[in-house]
Amino acid sequence: MLLSKFDEWKNLLNDGTDLTFRLAGAKERIITDSHVVQHGIDSISQQTSSLPSVRCLITGELDTPVLLHKYIEGVKGTDKNQAPLISFNDDAYCSFGKRERRPNVKCSYAKKAAANAPIGEKGAFAYTTALNTMLAKDSKNRLQVGDVSTVAWAEKATDFEGWFVSALGESPKDNPDAGVSAVHAIYKSIENGAFQTDTTDGKPPRFYVLGLSPGTKKRISIRFWVVDTVEEIAKRIKRHFDDLCIDIPPGQLKYLDLKQLLISTAVQGKSDNIPPNLGGDTMRSILEGLPYPATLLNAAIHRLRVQRDGKKYRTQLTFVCNVVYPCTAIIKAYLNRF
């Protein structure tokens, strides 16, 4: 074998590395990008499958339906941080008539479920691979807001993807000013019209935000799904920080990320005590320009009332920075949109 002559070949075999190749002079980056190869794989898959082709709900093309969908990993609160996004475990959850009805043939429940939500192999592979990539621990497209695992991406490559996550997410310990820098970049881009000139075929690029949370330990539910232009999402983030703006205590960052806001309302200032659904409801209000949830206002007021007489924090600056400042900003922001 020609590859065995290379020194790195043994290391590749030991590591179990996947290899691909590119044909000389071909336009495709790798061989699997070739439309001819993809068409051949699809044809073989359909010929060897015992299931009839269906119209995929994702691609709109005829394809072999997937019986069991791959688990989505990285959604906090699910069993072992993995669960399916699409699944059915009882006839009661199947739409009327969406079952295989073959006389004298017993059909497994998985096949019935495939008829209930017909998604082809190509579409299922694409959505599960994309979500698992963006939900990975080191992904730059995800942020955790309370109980909601959020992923965001743009229609085309743009710096706003990173700014979005940094502005609303928690800044890394080695770069505590990342959030402030991202907010400044968003403000500056809106002021100089950068988002208006950044277009695709004359149309502004779209931005997608998906919020996922555990419906149960074994299943994932979609908390929100927001699609709009990059410019509109940027303007709503700017409005969010404008609404929160108040005088800053000494040593406090000007822009508070969502985790700081939510923790300030939680009992003992612990993230585990953030009220259920509060993170997702607050995020949706920001992204859609809606009034903030009343539960956010109530939580902020309650925390101030409970903590104001606490001897442990009454005279400490940390109490002002960690509770008074963010809770007061929340009350002001809520009234701005009331």
Helix (H) or strand (E) holding 211: strand 206-216
Specify which of 50-64, 80-94, 170-184 reaches the highest per-range mean pLDDT.
Answer: 170-184
Tokens encoding 331: 């009350």
Average pLDDT over residues 52-78: 88
Beta bridge partners of 211: 150, 224
pLDDT of residue 285: 96
For the chain, first and last CA: distance in Å?
72
CA 124 to chain centre: 17
- Sequence-distant (6+) residues with CB within 8 A of 264 are 300, 303, 322, 323, 325, 326, 327, 330
pLDDT of residue 217: 73
The 10s digit of each residue's pLDDT in 118-148 is: 899 889 999 999 999 999 988 999 999 888 9
Rounded Cα distance between 106 and 109, Å, is 9
Share of the chain above pLDDT 70, in %: 81
Fill in the amino acid letter for 41: I
Rounded Cα distance between 74 and 85, Å, is 12
- HSE of 106 in the Cβ direction (CA atoms, 13 Å)? 0
Tokens 């200032």 appear where?
Answer: 269
The 10s digit of each residue's pLDDT in 162-200 is: 999 999 998 888 888 899 999 999 999 999 988 876 676
pLDDT at 232 over 60: yes
Rounded Cα distance between 226 and 152, Å, is 9
Rounded Cα distance between 212 and 76, Å, is 9
